[in-house]
Amino acid sequence: MSVKLKSPEETAKMRVAGRIASELLDYLTPHVQAGVTTGELDRLAHDHQVNVQHVIPAPLNYAPPGHTPYPASICTSVNHVVCHGIPGEKKLKPGDIINIDVTVIKDGYHGDTSRMFFVGTPSIQARRLVELTYEAMWRGIRTVAPGAQLGDIGHTIQKFAEGQGFSVVREFCGHGIGAQFHEEPQVLHYGRPGTGLKLVEGMIFTIEPMINAGRAGIRSKGDGWTIVTADHSLSAQWEHTVLVTAGGFEVLTVSAGAPAPPAS
């Protein structure tokens, strides 16, 4: 496993890209309401990235091996959609939950983050799922420090989520990020403590747990991108990009409108 440690100059560029990605979600926040289509959110996001932020939408036409090019500038995953939901003509309705996942390219470096949003008033289960997924992500983030291991992150997330009666999606994981959208290492959201790669100052990667209200099983829809829960239960995801610092960690995907960390 070859993990590229970021120089201070690269880290500074990642900090800018991360902030811009978070600011894109700030911009979209007031538009996430009943009656808007996910396609309209994508059009708003694309226009804001290109004409206001002057960044490149990384998802647009992204095509890893075996995939057709992704056709939009953001991912919009509603209710039982786990990840990679393609924006379209679906209108959001009261009670929906939606994950909006954005990645921008600024000066050659990627900023990657996602948030959950409530449309109107969510069900008790939906609110609990979204809030506990956020806490699970942050519990994982707070394990990051030089000398810790990747398994510590996954174990912390898994233990908390499963302890609340939820399940962790295993087929998708966090990832290293920098000049490339996806780099090493892979950051699993489950695992055993004291296992896996040791963290070193200068590593940058995402932590982005996908937590299901029902079972962990998933399936892929016919478009080749959209992933849904096999049992049609709700799913939630949050994502931050994290730097390993000399003394612990720094979250790079923060902005004025980013939700505050949960109380430790």
Q: What is d(CA 50, CA 27) in angstroms, rounded to the nearest whole number?
A: 14
Q: What are phi and psi of 169, to 5 degrees?
A: -65, 130
Please state the rounded mean pLDDT for residues 229-244: 98
Residue 61 belongs to what domain range?
A: 8-251
At residue 264, does pLDDT exceed 90? no
- pLDDT of 136 reads 98
Whether residue 197 lies inside any domain: the answer is yes
**Angle, helices 38-47/8-28, rounded to nearest 10 degrees:** 130
Whether residue 93 lies inside any domain: the answer is yes
- pLDDT of 24 reads 98
At residue 139, does pLDDT exceed 70? yes
Q: What is d(CA 96, CA 212) in angstroms, rounded to the nearest whole number?
A: 15
pLDDT in tens, 149-171: 999 999 999 999 999 999 999 99
Whether residue 2 lies inside any domain: the answer is no
| 176-191 CB burial, b ≥16 within 10 A, e <16 | bbbeebbbebbbbbbb
Whether residue 192 lies inside any domain: the answer is yes
pLDDT in tens, 4-15: 999 999 999 999
Q: What is d(CA 238, CA 131) in angstroms, rounded to the nearest whole number?
A: 10
Q: Name every residue whose Cβ is closer than 8 Å to that of residue 228 and which is 6 or more positions away in sequence.
A: 80, 81, 82, 218, 219, 220, 221, 235
pLDDT in tens, 81-131: 999 999 999 999 999 999 999 999 999 999 999 999 999 999 999 999 999
- pLDDT of 1 reads 63
> Checking phi first, is residue 196 left (phi over 0); if not, alpha (psi -120 to 50) or beta?
left
CB 116 within 8 A of CB 77: no
Whether residue 206 lies inside any domain: the answer is yes
| Domains in the chain, number | 1
Please state the rounded mean pLDDT for residues 240-263: 97
% of the chain beyond a pLDDT of 70: 100
Q: In what order do the strands lie in the sheet with 227-229?
A: 81-83, 227-229, 218-220
pTM assigned to the model: 0.97
Please state the rounded mean pLDDT for residues 19-35: 98
Identify the CATH number of the domain in which residue 35 sits.
3.90.230.10
Whether residue 260 lies inside any domain: the answer is no
Mean pLDDT value across the chain = 97
